[in-house]
């Protein structure tokens, strides 16, 4: 049924269709740009959290190394 309706709709002339094609490209470009911006923000948050975790593990490492040496020493 919908194929019959589409077949009856005349195509737009090229001089008027160009505006719609350009608008579609602009919309798609804007969506991709927003997506990339969101991913960049998320990546910066993840990098910051990872840096905090790394700093926490480096602070705990000297304390844990003395207990690890005692546990690994032969009895």
pLDDT at residue 71 in the model: 61
pLDDT tens profile 17-70 = 888 899 999 999 999 999 999 999 999 999 999 999 999 999 887 655 555 555
pTM of the model: 0.58
DSSP class per residue in 26-45:
HHHHHHHHHHHHHHHHHHHH
- Between the alpha carbon of residue 31 and those of residues 19, 37, 53, 65, the distances in Å are 18, 10, 33, 50
pLDDT tens profile 41-55 = 999 999 999 999 999
Distance in angstroms (rounded) separating the CA atoms of residues 52 and 56:
6
């Amino acid at each position: 049924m919908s194929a019959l309706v589409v077949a009856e709709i005349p195509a737009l002339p090229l001089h008027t269709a160009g505006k719609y094609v350009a608008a579609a490209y602009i919309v798609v470009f804007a969506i991709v740009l927003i997506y990339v911006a969101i991913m960049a923000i998320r990546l910066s948050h993840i990098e910051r959290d990872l840096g905090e975790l790394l700093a926490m593990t480096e602070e705990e490492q000297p304390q844990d190394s003395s207990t690890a040496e005692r546990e690994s020493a032969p009895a």
